[in-house]
Structures are given as C-alpha cells and as structure tokens.
Structure 1
Amino acid sequence: MRHRHIHEKLLFILLVMLFATGMLVGCSRTGAENTNEQVIQKVLELQFSGPDEEFMDAMWNPEYKKVVDGKEENEVFDRFVQEAYGDYFTESELDTFVRAFGTQYPSTAHSNGYKLDLKNVSIEQTEQASNRYEFIAQVGYQKDGGKEETAKVEGAIFFSTKEEGKIGRFQYSKDESLIESLSR
C-alpha cells in the first residue's frame, strides 16, 4: 500500500514536470515567432517611413562613390545599410535585398518628392513552412503636401534555418501600383 502511494506521487511529479517542459517549449516557440514578426515590422518601417534623407544622401552623393578595380564602391552607403538592416538579414540576403528591393521604394519616393508613412502591418506565419511569413503593409504616400493616398504592399519572408531571427529571403509580391504612383 505504501509503495503504491509513493508510485502515485512519483507519477504525479513526472506528469507535472512533463507539462512544465511542454509549456516552456511552447512559450519559447511563440517567443521566436514574436521576434520574427518584430524583425518584419522593423524592416517594413525602414522601407516605408521617410525616406531617410541621410540614407538617400549616402546612396546618391557622388562624393562617397569611388571606382576600385573597375567596380563602383560606396563605403558610406554600405555602412548605412549594415547599420540599418544588418541585424535583420543574413549576410548574403542583405546584399540581394539591397540590390533587388531595399532601395526601390525609398529612392523612388525621394526622387519624385514623396513622403512614405507605414500605416499598418499584418503578418501571418504560413502553414506550408514554419519559417515563411506573409505580410500586408498599408503604406501612405504623399507628394509635397498634397493629398495622402494609400496602397497595400504584400510580400513573403523566409527566415534562415541556420541563423535564428535573420531573414534568409525577402520578396515583394504585389504593391497596388505603388512604385508606378511614386514615379509620377
């Protein structure tokens, strides 16, 4: 009888420990998801707020550009990119992102006198892959004090499976012709 009571206590303690371990694993997974969503939010804020005049100056100012071994380099711009986006992307994707998307909206807005304002972001982790997130950003854009309009910008982000919390692939998919509107 006494052994049975001890076994019941041990079983109870074991079940409590298993439950607590399950809760910790569940909480840490949710924490990673929240961190990933914060990374996406921050990158979209950098893309659709401003554009940042110092960033634009670093990108376009000919004083910062020089040709080394037949290739144009801009150390000031590279430093700005690293400081702004470096914590959020894998090293290889950061270069790809900047060449493909990273300057597209801010520089087009800057060149044509538009201000961008990130209004809202919805982010959803997809069921197909745990490291894939889709986003919809509501972006306000306004030219020289004119009437503000908004556009929805959609895209997908894959987080690296090797570097936790770092974007391994970033792509825009739709933008309700925002880039064309900013080009006018």
Structure 2
Amino acid sequence: MGGSGSVGSLAIQLLKSQNISVFATCSDNAIELVKNLGADYVFDYKSSAEFEALRNYGPFDIVLDCTGQGIELAKKLNFQFRQYITFSSPLLKNVDKFGISFGMLKNITHFIQANMKSLSRKGFLLKYGFFMPAPQGIELLTRLVNKNQLLPIIDSSFTFAELPLAFEKVNRGHLRGKVVITMS
C-alpha cells in the first residue's frame, strides 16, 4: 500500500532485488512510476473496482502499509493476508499523551488487542515496522545502488533558504520519493 512514496518505492525495489512478487497500490498518476520500479501488478487505490480486484490474487503473505493509515486500513481491506506491517505505530503518540508508563501500557494493550481480534476475525498478524540503522542494511543498499538495482527517487529539491516551502510540500503529502534540501 502506497507504492509511489519514498518508503514504498524503496520497498518495491528491495523486494524485486530478492525476486519477490510485488503487488502495489498508488494513485492513477503514479502507476507508470510504480511499474517502472518493478512492481508486478499495480492497482489504483482510488478505483474501488481495481482495489476489489486484489481479492482475486490473494491470499498475500504480507501487506506493507506505507500510507501512514495503520491498523485502520487493515480493518477495511477486503482480501486475505497473513501479516500486516505498518510504519504508523501509536508508540510516540501514546507516550506523549499518557506519559512513559501509561503510554507504554496503552501500546502493549493496543498491540495485543489488535492481534487477538485480527487472529479471530481475519487471520492476520499486526506488526509495526521501525527503522534501525544497521551496517548490513547499508551494505545491501550500497550493493544494490552500485548494481543499478536501487534508484533513489527524488520528488523535488529545495535550497536551505526554501525550507518552509519544502515543509509545506511534505505536509501536503502524495510525494513521489524524497524531498531533498541542498545545504550550500
């Protein structure tokens, strides 16, 4: 989900480098980009007919949510999958709102409840993806870039003086890759 953003476009390329079949969603104006990144099947998430067509290809091993919608999106999906990985963890929001102790307790409770309900209803596990720098990951990315199997996607570039404009662009969403700030 969200194959045309910075995380989704990277995920597609990483998965394809490992010969994994990739089904991706994006808006209609990004379909060509996502196909060029290597996705095997691309669906317009705004088209209910296309989104519904995903059901014919399942069940899926993993749904990787790069849209920021989190578990709410998983509840709406009308097709079968085994794992739902989202990068939209409630961790920081709950800690900010309830403090460390109660916030962490809320996070644990939310995670357990989501998985218990999910397993009993749809049969999928909810997982939160977190980025953690690791030398092996950097080495893999470097190898893939050197072999032209991984192309960084840049949406736009701004000077440091244009930083407020860059923030506005990021906040509007629907980016095609990263926004770069040039420091010189």
TM range (shorter): under 0.3
Query: Which protein has the bigger strand share?
Result: 1
* Higher Cα radius of gyration: 1
